[in-house]
A = this chain, B = another copy of it.
Amino acid sequence: MTKFGQDLIESANEALAIALGKAKPARTITVETVDVAAIRKRLGLSQDAFAKKFGLSAATLRDWEQGRRQMDRTAQAFLKVIDRAPEVVEKALKAA
């Protein structure tokens, strides 16, 4: 079985436990999905190139795309802006 498959099952079990009141949600966050990989691929950039262009750490980007870490609110907001106005972001950062 793939790792993704295992993760899915784990998540499902956890969700069930929470629903049954047997477990508490680790945190309550709005489940807004920001698909970094999708945004990046739409821009036709490698992970390293994307990270460099938008001032991110390549390591952190990796963690996000691999589902190892959750983006915090700041990152989510930033990624949305990158998604909608990548060129503006790029220019703003170049003007540093």
Query: Interface of A with B (CB < 8 Å)?
Result: 32, 54-57, 60, 72-78, 80-81, 83-85, 88-89, 92-93, 95-96
Contacts and interface: CB of A to CB of B under 8 A. Distances in A.
Given A60-B74, A81-B93, 11 more contacts: A32-B96, A60-B73, A74-B75, A75-B75, A78-B78, A80-B93, A81-B92, A84-B92, A85-B85, A85-B88, A88-B88
Chain A at the B interface: mostly helix, strand, loop or mixed?
A: helix
Contacts of A84: 92, 95
A19 B18 CA distance: 52
17 contacts: A54-B77, A55-B74, A55-B76, A55-B77, A56-B74, A57-B73, A57-B74, A74-B75, A74-B78, A77-B93, A80-B92, A80-B93, A80-B96, A81-B81, A81-B92, A84-B95, A85-B88
A76 B85 CA distance: 18
Given A78-B78, A81-B81, A73 B55 contact: yes
